[in-house]
Amino acid sequence: MSASRPPRVVAVIEDDASARTALGRLLRASGFEPALFESAEAFIDASPPSLCAIVDVQLPGMSGIELQQRLRALGNTIPIIVTTASCDPAVRKRAHENDCAAFFWKPVDGDALTVAIGSLASQS
C-alpha cells in the first residue's frame, strides 16, 4: 500500500460568499483542497497548515494587506496571493512590499491563478 500524497491545502480568505465558493470549486477542480474563510480574523484563529493563501484586499475588519503585515510580523512565511477589485496601483505596491507571491486584479483569471499556485506547490 503506497502512502497517499498529503492534501495540498489552499486557504481562501474572501468575504464575498459567491467568489469564495467559486474559488473553492476552481481549486478542487485543479487538485487542491480549499480551506475557506470569510475574514482575516477567522483565518488567523484557525491557522490551517496551507500551501498558500489567496487573500482579498477588501475584507471586513482586518484588510488583506493588514493580514499580510501581521503574518510577516509573526514570522509566518506562507506564500500569499493577493486579489483585489481596486484599481489603485498603491494597493499592488503595498502587497508587493509585504512580500506577496502573486497579485491579481479581479476578476481573476482562473488559469493564471492555478498556474501560480502550481508553481508554489512545486517549490514546496
The pLDDT of residue 2 is 41
**Are the C-beta atoms of residues 104 and 83 closer than 8 Å to each other?**
yes
Which residue intervals of 1-124 are DSSP H helices?
Answer: 17-29, 40-46, 64-73, 89-97, 110-123
The pLDDT of residue 68 is 95
The reply to whether the predicted model has a pTM over 0.95 is no
Mean pLDDT by 10 residues, the chain (124 residues): 65 98 97 97 94 97 96 93 94 95 96 96 86
Separation of alpha carbons 96 and 40, rounded Å:
18
CA 85 from centre of chain: 15
Name residue 83's amino acid.
T
The pLDDT of residue 87 is 87
Local structure of 6: helix, strand or coil: coil
The pLDDT of residue 123 is 87
Give the number of other Cβ atoms within 10 Å of residue 31's Cβ. 13
